[in-house]
């Protein structure tokens, strides 16, 4: 497939934005990639400038939540080049969602083309290396068409837009940056439902728990399992991690989003640091026995959990140097500041 070429003065030029001051907010960039599925085939529309999605009013994405999205970051390396992180894992997770929501898969080559072209066309918005900011990519998948019945769409839109972003939880990473989370009594996902795919509907149900937690002064909500409300699920838009003694433990659940950051952290812990890792149920009652806690995700990266509160109960966790080691190894690979023994870094070239 012939790729279009993009020309910029040099690969370090950026627009006039103070990238070090960015939060996790939308900043419109000039171009987005779009492809449409109709009559059984995907057709690339290419790069478009219109930041508004035009879809029929009867579209399944608007009424029945037949919608998926991905979130990924591209970092600028010390050489000025753009590096994505494990983009095929995002493509595979999107397609797991497409199968469950009864839509066509996005071919992996099309997914990669979308993220490459959206990055290259907006390259001056890719934050400088070392700024702490990254280019956030938002691939999205919408079931569209003139429809009123409850059934899957026959047409689909795949779009990738980008926005430079700073940290998701303000303050960054460090021993003075612990965050507190509040256990929610509301569920974000049902057992055997759509919690493990990145369907938009999962997030609408997290608005109230998130707002309640923030109104009470916490960084976000922590969810328990939707069957017994006994085991830890995940935190906001991040997976939960903890150290029990020497072992890195993380919840095993069918209703949490399988974080690509989490599998990467587990692999780093096992392969680089030789720490034992376990994916298993973690009961709330076990929080007393945990040495340290954290959460991780593309947006959050890795955040130290300083405390968890459930009504009158409160658990405090100290900063643990092992989070720092994991954070440095993960972000070092992502930003091309260190070698990548796993082959996770994906250089975007034209
Ligand atoms: C609900 C939820 N859990 C966990 C994560 C972390 O997943 P990842 O590391 O793949 O970004 C996200 C973010 O994508 C999320 O939305």
Do 158 and 186 lie in a common domain?
no
Do 66 and 139 lie in a common domain?
yes
Q: Does 121 map to a domain?
A: yes
- pTM here is 0.95
Do 53 and 185 lie in a common domain?
no
- Model confidence band, residue 167 (pLDDT cutoffs 50, 70, 90): confident
Do 157 and 53 lie in a common domain?
yes
pLDDT at residue 175 is higher than 80:
no
Probe residue for ligand 1, chosen from 74, 297, 326, 331 as the CB with the greatest number of ligand atoms within 8 Å: 297
Ligand 1: residue whose CA is nearest its atom 1: 237
**Distance (Å, rounded) from C-alpha 60 to C-alpha 151?**
8
Looking at residue 280, what is its pLDDT? 98
Do 84 and 209 lie in a common domain?
no
H helix and E strand count, the chain:
7, 17
Do 144 and 258 lie in a common domain?
no
Q: How far is the CA of 175 from the centre of ligand 1 (A)?
A: 23
Which is the closest atom of ligand 1 to the Cα of 298? 11
Do 150 and 236 lie in a common domain?
no
Enclosing H/E stretch for 43: strand 41-48
Q: Which residue has the tokens 């049902």?
A: 190
**What would you measure as the largest C-alpha separation in the chain, in angstroms?**
61
Count of domains in the chain? 2
Catalytic residue among 151, 198, 244, 281: 198
Q: How far is the CA of 5 from the centre of ligand 1 (A)?
A: 32
Could you tell me if residue 217 is left (phi over 0), alpha (psi between -120 and 50 degrees) or otherwise beta? left
| Residue 79, phi then psi, degrees to nearest 5 | -85, 5
Helix/strand/coil for 273: coil
Q: Does 279 map to a domain?
A: yes
Whole-number mean pLDDT of the chain?
Answer: 94
Do 200 and 306 lie in a common domain?
yes
- Model confidence band, residue 155 (pLDDT cutoffs 50, 70, 90): very high
Last-in-domain residue among 166, 197, 230: 166
Q: What is the pLDDT of residues 44-93, one digit of tens each?
A: 999 999 999 999 999 999 999 999 999 999 999 999 999 999 999 999 99
Helix/strand/coil for 163: strand
Domain span including residue 292: 179-334
Q: What is the pLDDT of residues 17-32, one digit of tens each?
A: 899 899 999 999 999 9
Q: Does 318 map to a domain?
A: yes
How remote is the C-alpha of 4 from its chain's centroid? 28
CATH number at residue 306: 3.20.10.10
| Residue 114, phi then psi, degrees to nearest 5 | -60, -45
Which residues form ligand 1's pocket by a CB distance below 6 Å? 71, 234, 237-239, 257, 259-262, 297-298
- Model confidence band, residue 7 (pLDDT cutoffs 50, 70, 90): very low
Do 158 and 214 lie in a common domain?
no
- Catalytic status, residue 198: yes
Do 205 and 320 lie in a common domain?
yes
Mean pLDDT, residues 148-171: 93
Do 29 and 162 lie in a common domain?
yes
The angle that helices 260-271 and 87-100 make with each other, rounded to 10 degrees, is 130
Q: Does 174 map to a domain?
A: no
Q: How far is the CA of 197 from the centre of ligand 1 (A)?
A: 10
């Amino acid at each position: 497939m012939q790729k279009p070429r993009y020309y910029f003065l040099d690969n370090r030029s950026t627009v006039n934005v103070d990238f070090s001051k960015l939060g996790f907010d939308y900043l419109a960039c000039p171009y987005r990639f779009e492809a449409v599925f109709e009559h059984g085939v995907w057709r690339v529309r290419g790069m478009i400038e219109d930041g508004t999605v035009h879809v029929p009013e009867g579209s399944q994405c608007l009424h029945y939540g037949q919608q998926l999205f991905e979130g990924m970051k591209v970092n600028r390396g010390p050489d000025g080049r753009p590096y994505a992180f494990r983009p095929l894992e995002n493509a595979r997770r999107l397609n797991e969602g497409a199968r469950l929501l009864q839509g066509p898969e996005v071919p992996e080559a099309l997914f990669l083309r979308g993220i490459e072209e959206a990055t290259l066309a907006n390259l001056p918005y890719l934050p400088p290396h070392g700024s702490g900011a990254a280019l956030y990519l938002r691939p999205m998948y919408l079931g569209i068409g003139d429809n009123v019945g409850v059934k899957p769409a026959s047409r689909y839109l795949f779009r990738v837009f980008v926005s430079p972003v700073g940290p998701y939880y303000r303050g960054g990473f460090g021993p003075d940056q612990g965050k507190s989370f509040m256990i929610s009594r509301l569920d974000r996902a049902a057992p055997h439902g759509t919690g493990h795919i990145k369907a938009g509907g999962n997030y609408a149900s997290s608005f109230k728990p998130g707002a309640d937690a923030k109104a009470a002064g916490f960084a976000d909500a922590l969810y328990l399992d939707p069957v017994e409300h006994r085991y830890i699920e995940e935190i906001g838009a991040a997976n939960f991690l903890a150290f029990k003694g020497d072992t890195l433990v993380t919840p095993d659940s069918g209703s949490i989003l399988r974080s690509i950051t989490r599998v990467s952290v587990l692999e780093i812990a096992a392969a680089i640091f030789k720490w034992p890792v376990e994916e298993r149920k973690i009961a709330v009652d076990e929080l007393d026995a945990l040495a340290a806690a954290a959460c991780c995700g593309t947006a959050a990266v890795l955040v130290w959990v300083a405390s968890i509160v459930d009504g009158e109960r409160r658990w405090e966790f100290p900063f643990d140097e092992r989070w720092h080691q994991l954070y440095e190894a993960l972000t070092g690979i992502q930003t091309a500041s260190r070698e990548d023994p796993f082959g996770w870094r994906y250089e975007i070239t034209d």
